[in-house]
């Protein structure tokens, strides 16, 4: 992707796959919500690792990602719900922002790049023994266990 400026609608045809995912946060602060943007950036934006589910090659393109519900289950009980709107208004807005940001620095997204766009639900602090499932409805789910 090298054209600019990108919008949520113009970037859509260039996105090949959608993967439901869970991000495991990792940070060095007692309270990451109060340290400010520069500290978060220097701490890898509190990103530890991403766990991706099965890719959905085409169905997601017909889904309103901004309004699509996501539910987080902990030990088979619903813990929190959210939607793609919590991701700066839409995951597609994030993708367009990233493409424009890279373009402004002489770079671009390449085929095969995997981009995490942000969280649709609030952060859950997993405990040992928790079984977590992020349910993206018709777009799939991701499950993991914490030992």
DSSP string, 87-113: TTT-HHHHHHHHHHHHHTTT----TT-
Across 114-133, average pLDDT: 92
Pairing type for strands 131-135 and 141-145 reads antiparallel
pLDDT confidence of residue 29: 79
Question: Is this prediction's pTM over 0.85?
Answer: no
Q: Taking 80 as the threshold, does the pLDDT of residue 26 lie above it? A: no
């Amino acid at each position: 992707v090298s054209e600019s400026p990108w919008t949520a609608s113009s970037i859509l045809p260039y996105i090949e796959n959608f993967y439901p995912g869970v991000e495991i946060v990792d940070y060095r602060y007692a309270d990451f919500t109060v340290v400010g943007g520069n500290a978060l950036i220097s701490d890898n934006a509190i990103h530890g690792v991403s766990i991706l589910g099965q890719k959905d090659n085409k169905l997601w393109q017909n889904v309103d990602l901004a309004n699509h519900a996501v539910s987080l289950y902990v030990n088979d009980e619903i813990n929190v719900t959210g939607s793609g709107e919590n991701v700066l208004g839409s995951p597609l807005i994030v993708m367009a922002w990233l493409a424009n940001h890279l373009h402004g620095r002489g770079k671009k997204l390449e085929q095969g790049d995997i981009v995490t766009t942000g969280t649709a639900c609030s952060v859950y602090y997993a405990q040992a023994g928790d079984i977590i499932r992020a349910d993206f409805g018709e777009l799939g789910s991701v499950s993991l266990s914490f030992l």
